Amino acid sequence: MATDPGIGYKIQGIVTGVKGECSAGHKVGEQFDISCYDCGGLCGFFYHDMFPNLLTFQFGGNLPWWEGDSITVQCPDMDNQVTMKLERFERT
């Protein structure tokens, strides 16, 4: 198992919406500590899909449509889509 070396921002995710029924069992309000080194229990399909954004976000990058230190990501299952808000924090 990979060990998170603690570089970049700390990322916390919270499930803010579930359209339909998530096959991985994710529910609104569920929280994750997540990083490029640790999926934190998030479904592999969702983690794989969001990884490029997570990589940019964790290491301080921004995309033109992102504002501040939170972004919204969605899983690739359009029929049972899970929406998650990611927030980044300085490590202490």
Report yes or no: 71 and 85 within 8 Å, Cβ to Cβ: yes
**3-state SS string for 34-63:** EECCECCCCCHHHHHHHHHHHHHHHCCCCC
Note if the pTM is more than 0.75: yes
78 contacts: CB under 8 Å, gap ≥ 6: none
Q: Counting Cβ atoms within 10 Å, is residue 66 exposed (0-12), middle (13-18) or buried (19+)?
A: middle
**pLDDT tens digits for range 20-67:** 999 999 999 999 999 999 999 999 999 999 999 999 999 999 999 999
